[in-house]
Amino acid sequence: MGGVKWNIPAGATAKVSIIDSTMRLGNMPAAMFFKNPVEGFETLEPCPTWCLLVENVASGRKVLFDLGAPKDFDSFAPVYNKMMDEYGMREHFKVEKDVAQVLQDQGVAPSEVSSIIWSHQHLDHIGNPNTFPNTTEIVVGQGFTKAYCPGYPTNPNSPVCEAYFVDRTLREINFEPGPAANLKIGGLRAHDFFGDGSFYLLDTPGHTAGHLSALARTTHGAGEEDDTFIMMGGDVCHHGGEIRPSPHRPLPPDADQGRYRAPAPLSFCPGARLFGALQTSRGRHATDEPFVDVGDIDEDRAASLASMREVQIPDAMDNVFFVFAHDATLLGVVDVFPAPANDWKAKGWAEGSHWSFLKDFAPAAAKFADKNEGAS
């Protein structure tokens, strides 16, 4: 969106691929993730966990942002297996392959990955690090080791296993002032991972302690403001309606186009006016307040809201493609690994997905129109 800016320093580009981790999370209750859910939006549709492979062009060093869930659930710490049994979650998870196998199937050996960056410690992001050699370090956000280490079994309630870290480096990013600190992108503390401005880790706490997002520069433009980027959100949000619309990108006037239409046989389509009226009927600002609120799944709701408000800025920028971990609207839109993602803008991926989440709220808009004939 023209006029929206973030203070991203100049730098090199990185090679980026979006990996389908093969995990599908199906029919999870929306109320588990959001407060004030929209009527009719009862469950999250079967959705993926996206991981990203980032390669530094100069050095050839490869890193992974997140690992999805492991194929072998027994590799989890008992706290997760207990939780899955208590809440009947096993039936909601389908995993075909470990990410290490996805890489191998396309000719990339796990030993080529120098770092696994965990956005956070939840079971659908940590995978099984032991499918990678111990030369692959694990990188975590600030506050991770205080909150979750030592791991299981020394701490029986830890969500991570000590076995993940045997003979392996566990590196916690320090965003506090220091020789390489005091770097900010927008309002977020940042860490220049490769030291050349191609890939930054961003401090986005709230969902969990030490939650990380990331930003990779994908192409250079005519000027610094013409560079393109991929924003990796992890679980900074779980649905487009949690950060959209926003003051930086209001509900678009063309929200009545085909992919947002209410299902047949309704004779109307809930456009921007009707979606806005639906918002107002729920006590929300019509065009620039997100549809749903942060839920109790986030450990620190105030911090989550602060992180979300900040990432709404890059989410509104035409030169940033925002990939959060469970965005189902990207299915069938993006090219996945081994295809590169650097040309996302030329391929129109953002335009093809940004407002597609509105289809989840079409039933509520249809019901509202039935009660308020003529609103559309």
pLDDT of 265 over the 50 cut: no
DSSP 93-161: EEE---HHHHHHHTT--GGGEEEEE-S---HHHH--GGGS-TTSEEEE-TTHHHHH-S-BTTSTT-SSB
Closest to 54 (Cα-Cα) out of 196, 169, 199, 192: 199
Q: Which residues contact 342 (CB under 8 A, 6 or more apart)?
A: 13, 15, 16, 218, 219, 228
Query: In sequence order, what are the beta bridge partners of 216?
Result: 199, 230
CATH top-level class of 14-250+288-345: alpha beta
**For position 274, what pLDDT does the model report?**
80
Query: pLDDT-based confidence at 258, cuts 50/70/90?
Result: very low
**Segment 136-151 mean pLDDT:** 97
pLDDT of 252 over the 90 cut: no
pTM of the model: 0.93
Q: Domain spans of the chain?
A: 14-250+288-345
pLDDT of 268 over the 60 cut: no
Residue 171 per-residue DSSP state: E
Please give the structure tokens belonging to residue 258: 């085909």
Closest to 202 (Cα-Cα) out of 218, 183, 221, 226: 183
Closest to 163 (Cα-Cα) out of 120, 134, 195, 202: 134
**Average pLDDT, rounded, for the chain:** 90
Query: In sequence order, what are the beta bridge partners of 184?
Result: 189
Residue 366 per-residue DSSP state: H
Query: pLDDT-based confidence at 222, cuts 50/70/90?
Result: confident
**Segment 156-168 mean pLDDT:** 96
**For position 261, what pLDDT does the model report?**
44
**Segment 72-97 mean pLDDT:** 88
**For position 373, what pLDDT does the model report?**
59
**For position 364, what pLDDT does the model report?**
87
Query: How far apart (Å, rounded) are the C-alpha atoms in residues 354 and 374?
Result: 28
Please give the structure tokens belonging to residue 8: 């991203």
